[in-house]
Amino acid sequence: MKFGTLAIHAGQSPDPTTGAIMTPVYQTSTFVQESPGRTKGNYDYARSANPTRTALEENLAALEGGRFGICFSSGCAAMAAMLHTLASGDHVVVCDDVYGGTFRLFDKIFAQLGIAYSIVDMCNMAQTKAAFTPKTKLVWIETPTNPMLKIIDIRAVVAIAKQHGALTLVDNTFATPYLQSPLELGADVACHSSTKYIGGHSDVIGGVLVVNDPALAEKLHYIQNAVGGVPGPWDCFLLLRSTKTLHVRVREHCKNAMTVAVYLENHPRIEKVYYPGLPSHPQHKLAAAQMRGFGGMISVVIKGGLPAATQFLERVKLFSLGESLGGVESLIEHPAIMTHATIPAEHREKLGIVDGLVRLSVGIEDVDDLVGDLDRALG
Ligand SMILES: *Cc1c(COP(=O)(O)O)cnc(C)c1O
């Protein structure tokens, strides 16, 4: 079955007791057993498993083209669960332009538990190769990157990781499973903050890991239950409602973002536009080959630095000034002050996160109104 059909049907069948077409919110903490140890459908306690969550896990696994989905209460909880598969002394190679909270997990939480990491520019294969040590167990890719929207060649990095016997995780949050399939490209784990495009309506926090290897899935399920960062059934229900329209929404995000990117690239007050769909993007060809669309995220540098950027961000009306991304409504933010404040200033500068940099999450409003809003704010 193809994506749109899986989005609506995978993991979900009418409720066996009533025929309800929508998977119910199983708002329960425990399940009554018929006799000690004899459960109905392996449900005994809702941290271990809950039918609403099972439906979501099967749905997301299908969308990622994987066998096992393991859901968490946030993207950060999902990422932490993956890092809990490592042991003290292990080493991770991490791409240099990751989500701020991802960097914080490595730098502040897992470093003190003895998990070492190296940050590299994964657009540079020589630098990537050189970062491996005999202790490297995991490679952490985010592509497109945040907020510079660099594109990393998943196949090429997976090939290097395999030579070293390391697993590869791809944070697929920006691309969405509709536009990019990391597991098909050889990665071992696809990871999402489902708070973003998967949720799509800015009303739920969630995360997921999708894998093919049964042994890795078992390990992650064990950690999901043992550490306990599980999503509640209501959040799972909201996400199931969201995935039904993921393909429709993402198509509109891509269309609108392309129009906005072209508009911005031609505006005299804009110094630079980062959007993988523009031929001026340094990895445009790779993006076109690796992805099925270019997504809804754009970063721009405004001429005039912080004062100009601040004025622009105060003037927009339809674009709401806020962190997060991937919702149907357009958002705009200032990475250096907002989402990427946890990254040391000198590291930010090196990446290109300058004071004039503004990130846009282009929503699915009428694109004429979006361009009109930007035009007013820049004018
Ligand atoms: C938001 C985000 C995360 C963290 O997810 P939460 O749901 O906020 O915990 C991880 N990676 C990327 C790329 C994100 O945008």
Ligand 1 nearest atom to the CA of residue 98, by list position = 13
Calculate how far, in angstroms, residue 234's C-alpha sits from the geometric centre of ligand 1: 20
- Which of 223, 243, 263 is the endpoint of a domain? 243
- The residue segments making up the domain with residue 361 are 246-378
Residue 339 has pLDDT above 90, yes or no: no
Question: Atom of ligand 1 at shortest distance to CA of 194?
Answer: 7
Active site residue 44: no
The alpha carbon of 327 and the centre of ligand 1 are apart by a number of angstroms equal to 13
User: Are 65 and 136 part of one and the same domain?
Assistant: yes
Residue 204: its pLDDT value, please?
A: 98
- Kindly list the protein residues whose Cβ atom lies closer than 6 A to any atom of ligand 1: 74-76, 99, 101-102, 142, 146, 171, 173-174, 193, 195-196, 205, 207
Contact partners, residue 379, CB within 8 Å, separation at least 6: none
Q: List pLDDT tens digits, range 237-295.
A: 999 999 999 999 999 999 999 999 999 999 999 999 999 999 999 999 999 999 999 99
Q: Which of 207, 223, 243 is the last residue of a domain?
A: 243
Is 99 among the catalytic positions? Answer: yes
Query: Would you state the pLDDT for residue 262?
Result: 98
Helix (H) or strand (E) holding 262: helix 246-265
Whether residue 77 is predicted with pLDDT greater than 90 in this model: the reply is yes
User: Which of these is catalytic: 171, 188, 235, 355?
Assistant: 171
**171 is known as an active-site residue:** yes
**pTM here?**
0.97
Asked if residue 211 and residue 72 are part of one domain, the reply reads yes
Q: Are residues 98 and 216 in the same domain?
A: yes
Domain of residue 128, CATH code: 3.40.640.10
Mean pLDDT of 126-140: 98
Using the atom order of ligand 1, give the atom closest to the CA of residue 101: 4
| Interval between CA 205 and ligand 1 midpoint (Å) | 9
**For position 108, what pLDDT does the model report?**
96
**How much is the average pLDDT of 153-176?**
98
**322 has a pLDDT exceeding 90:** yes
Among residues 53, 137, 150, 196, the one annotated as catalytic is 196
Tokens of 343: 């990254």
pLDDT above 90 for 95: yes
Whole-angstrom distance, CA of residue 102 vs CA of residue 264:
29
- Number of structural domains the chain divides into: 2
pLDDT of res. 66: 98
In 10 A of CB 155, how many CB atoms? 14
| Structural tokens at position 199 | 């949720």
Helix axes 51-63, 233-243, angle to 10 degrees: 30
**pLDDT(105) > 90:** yes
Choose among 140, 62, 42, 58: nearest CA to 99: 140
The total of other beta-carbon atoms located within 10 Å of residue 134's CB is 7
First-to-last alpha carbon distance for the chain, in angstroms, is 48
Do 226 and 269 sit in the same domain of this protein?
Answer: no
Which residue, of 181, 208, 243, is where some domain finishes?
243
Q: Is 47 a catalytic residue?
A: yes
What the block records as the tokens of 311 is 């004025």
Domain co-membership, 250 together with 222 = no
287: phi then psi, degrees, rounded to nearest 5 = -60, -45
Residue with tokens 């990475």: 335
The region, left, alpha or beta by phi > 0 then psi within -120 to 50, assigned to residue 200 is left
